[in-house]
Amino acid sequence: MKSIAIGVHLRSEDIEPLAAATPAGALFVSAVPVPEDQSLSDRDLLVRISGVRAALLERATFIAIRYGFAFRSAAEAEAKCAQYAAKWKKLLEEHRHRVELTLRVAAAGSARPQRRDFQSGAEFLRALHSSARSARVDDAFRAAVEELIAPLCVKSHWAPRDEKSIELCGLIERSRLPNLSRAGQALKARCPHVPFLLSAPWPLEVFTDADHE
C-alpha cells in the first residue's frame, strides 16, 4: 500500500476518521491509503480525494499538499516534511480560523505562444511566462473587487495565473464567508459583463509562501 498525502494538520483529531493521520514531528499528515499499483490519474480516485479534502477543511484549516505526493512509511512522510515543519506549525496556529479564497477573472492579454514558433524549449517557456505576466484585468472590475472583496480579507493580492486569467488570492476568517458570498453577488451585479469565478473555502497554500506573508 501507499498513502496519498492530502494535507498537513495540527492535530490528529482534525483528520481521523476521514483520512489516515500520520505523525510528522509535531504535525500530522492526512492521507488516503491506496493499493501500490493504483494509478494516481484514476478519475474516481481524484474525485474521492477531492471529497476527503473538502471534508477535512470542514473540520479545521490545514496546509494543502499538491496532489501526487505519495509515501510508504511514517518515517518517509516525516523526513520529507521535516524542513518545513516549524514554519508550517506556526502558520497553522496563526491561521487556524482562516481559509483561502480565489477569485479568477478572464484576462485581456497576449495570445498563448505556440511551441512550434520557438527553436528551444527554454525560449518557449520564457515566452509563456511573459505572456502570463502580461495578462490584464478590466480596471472597473478590479476596482470593484478592491472595494467589495479585498476588505473582507486579512491579506490579499493579485497574481497572474496564466495568459488567460488573473486571480485575487485572499486569506479570510471563516466567520466572514457569508459576507464573502454576499460580496460575490454584489460583484456579479455590478460587473455582469465580466466572467469570473469566486470560490472558497480552500486550505492554506498561497499564504504558506513567505513572499506573501
Interface contacts to other proteins, rule CB under 8 A? 5, 7-8, 40-41, 43, 46-47, 49-50, 53-54, 63-69, 80-81, 84, 102, 104-106, 161-162, 164-165, 188, 191-197, 199, 202-203, 205-206, 208
Cβ neighbours of residue 54 under 8 Å, at least 6 residues apart? none
- Tell me the closest approach of the beta carbon of residue 67 to other proteins, in angstroms: 5
Least distance to other proteins, CB of residue 154, Å: 19
Residue 164 is placed in which grid cell? 488567460
Task: State in angstroms the smallest separation of the CB of 150 from other proteins.
Answer: 18
Could you give the 3-state DSSP secondary structure of residue 183? helix
Is beta strand 98-106 parallel, antiparallel or unpaired with respect to 165-173? antiparallel
**Residue 121: how many CA atoms within 13 Å on its side-chain side?**
0
Adjacent-strand bridge partners of 98: 173
Closer of 23 and 195 to other proteins (Cβ): 195
* Residue 8 or 153 having the CB closest to other proteins: 8
Q: How far is the CB of 71 from other proteins (least distance, A)?
A: 9
Reference 28, options 17, 38, 14; nearest CA is 14
- Taking the complex as a whole, the smallest distance from the CB of residue 211 to other proteins amounts, in Å, to 13
Residues forming beta bridges with residue 27, ordered by sequence position: 24
Pull the grid cell for residue 4. Answer: 496519498
What is the closest distance, in whole angstroms, from the C-beta atom of residue 208 to other proteins in the complex?
A: 6
CB 71 within 8 A of CB 55: no
| Nearer Cβ to other proteins (115/126) | 115
**Rounded distance, CA 21 to CA 32, Å?**
9
Nearer to other proteins, 41 or 175 (CB): 41
Nearer to other proteins by C-beta: 13 or 209? 209
Question: How far apart are alpha carbons 147 and 142 in whole angstroms?
Answer: 9
Closer residue to other proteins, CB minimum distance, 162 or 173: 162
